[in-house]
Amino acid sequence: MAYAYLFKYIIIGDTGVGKSCLLLQFTDKRFQPVHDLTIGVEFGARMITIDGKQIKLQIWDTAGQESFRSITRSYYRGAAGALLVYDITRRDTFNHLTTWLEDARQHSNSNMVIMLIANKSDLESRREVKKEEGEAFAREHGLIFMETSAKTASNVEEAFINTAKEIYEKIQEGVFDINNEANGIKIGPQNPMPGPTGPHNAGQAGGSCC
């Protein structure tokens, strides 16, 4: 149960793109073809290992509908990472990315790591959005990109873990203020103060400390 760090994630994106399925695949390693519509927000958790360290991921899966947008916004500030998901078989979900990104950037802390996820890669025959388009969007907005399938589990682990790696690197670089839990990062119990970020140079890029 002991962990070195705890990261909070949120999963956002249009309804039906597979957010809940991605979470279920990651936490329970299973796929549910018929999944209930998410009402508000649902919680999931899992432990991963990065750099030999145990990291607990707490993930909040949000509802995509407009009516829940204001609720979703309450989760941005406290999250260290966000998975922004679209469905490669539905172009409109790709088109809405800009809106999602604006919303996220407006309400989150500036260091939040955002991973762009092109889901349902198993449905190649019905593809409407090319991989290159997703890559281009990610490059343009400074996001990490990955194509996944919640059904086949392809790249699902990687998506969650790579996001955690990015956050972890930011901590090592001193970008994150790990003492402020509002950033969605918590140091595990009985863990000595790690990283170059001291309590007073909060938020600043620390560079090398010695």
Partner 1 sequence: MNFLRGVMGGQQSSGVQPSGAETIQKLCDRVASSTLLDDRRDAVRALKSLSKKYRLEVGTQAMDHLLNVLQTDRADSEIIGYALDTLYNILSNDAEEAVGHSRTWSLLPRDTAESEEENPQAQTDDLGVQFTEMFIKQQENVTILLSILEEFDFHVRWPGVKLLTCLLKQQGPQVQQIILVSPMGVSRLMDLLDDSREVIRNDGLLLLQQLTKSNAAIQKIVAFENAFERLLDIITEEGNSDGGIVVEDCLLLLQNLLKYNNSNQNFFKEGSYIQRMKPWFEVGDDNSGWSAQKVTNLHLMLQLVRVLVSPGNPPGATSSCQKFMYQCGLLQQLCIILMATGVPADILTETINTVSEVIRGSQVNQDYFASVNAPSNPPRPAIVVLLMSMVNERQPFVLRCAVLYCFQCFLYKNQKGQGEIVATLLPSTIDATSLSAGQLLCGGLFSTDSLSNWCAAVALAHALLENSTQKEQLLRVQLATSIGNPPVSLLQQCTNILAQGSKVQTRVGLLMLLCTWLTNCPIAVTHFLHNASNVPFLTAQISENLGEEEQLVQGLCALLLGICIYYNDNSLESNTKEKLKQLIEKRIGKEIFTEKLGFITKHEFYSKAAQKPQPSFSSPDHMMFDHEFTKLVKELEAVIIKAIYKSSEEDKKEEEVKKSLEQHDNIISHYKNVIREQDLQLEELKQTVSTLQAKNEQFQTTVSQQVAQIQQHKDQYNLLKVQLGKDNQHHNSHNSNAQINGFQSEEVSRLKEEIEELKKQHDLLQGELSEKNTLIENLSCNQAAGQTEQTTGVSEQVTELQKEMETLRSQLHVQSTEINRLQAERMELLQKVEASATVTASGDSASAASKNNDYEEKIAGLLRELSSLKDEVNLLSVEKSTLKRELDSAHSTTAILQDEKLKLGQEVSESKKEQDDLLILLADQDQKILSLKNKLKELGEQVDDEDDLESGDAGDEDDLDEEDSRDDDM
Ligand X SMILES: Nc1nc2c(ncn2[C@@H]2O[C@H](COP(=O)(O)OP(=O)(O)O)[C@@H](O)[C@H]2O)c(=O)[nH]1
Q: Which does 21 bind (CB under 5 to 8 A by kind): Mg ion, ligand X, partner 1, none?
A: ligand X
> Could you tell me if 99 and 66 are in contact, meaning their C-beta atoms sit under 8 angstroms apart?
no
Examine residue 199 and tell whether it contacts partner 1 (CB under 8 A). Answer: no
Q: Which does 191 bind (CB under 5 to 8 A by kind): ligand X, Mg ion, partner 1, none?
A: none
Q: Which residues have C-beta within 8 Å of that of residue 38, sequence separation ≥ 6?
A: 15, 19, 20, 61, 62, 63, 64
Rounded to a whole number of angstroms, the CA Rg of the chain reads 17
Q: Which does 183 bind (CB under 5 to 8 A by kind): Mg ion, partner 1, ligand X, none?
A: none
> Could you tell me if 17 and 85 are in contact, meaning their C-beta atoms sit under 8 angstroms apart?
yes
Contact positions with Mg ion (CB under 5 A) in 32-51: 38
Region from 38-46, 125-133, 159-167, 193-201 binding partner 1, contact rule CB under 8 A: 38-46
Report CA 147 to chain centroid distance, whole Å.
14
> How distant, in Å, are the alpha carbons of 65, 130, 143 from that of 25?
22, 24, 22
Question: In the bound complex, what is the minimum distance in angstroms from residue 18's beta carbon to ligand X?
Answer: 3
Examine residue 43 and tell whether it contacts partner 1 (CB under 8 A). Answer: yes
Contact positions with partner 1 (CB under 8 A) in 107-126: 107
Q: Which does 74 bind (CB under 5 to 8 A by kind): partner 1, Mg ion, ligand X, none?
A: partner 1
**Alpha-helical regions (H) of the chain:** 19-28, 69-76, 91-95, 97-107, 131-141, 156-173
- Distance of alpha carbon 181 from alpha carbon 100, whole angstroms: 24
Site string for partner 1, 8-37 (x = CB under 8 A): x-----------------------------
Question: In the bound complex, what is the minimum distance in angstroms from residue 134's beta carbon to ligand X?
Answer: 15
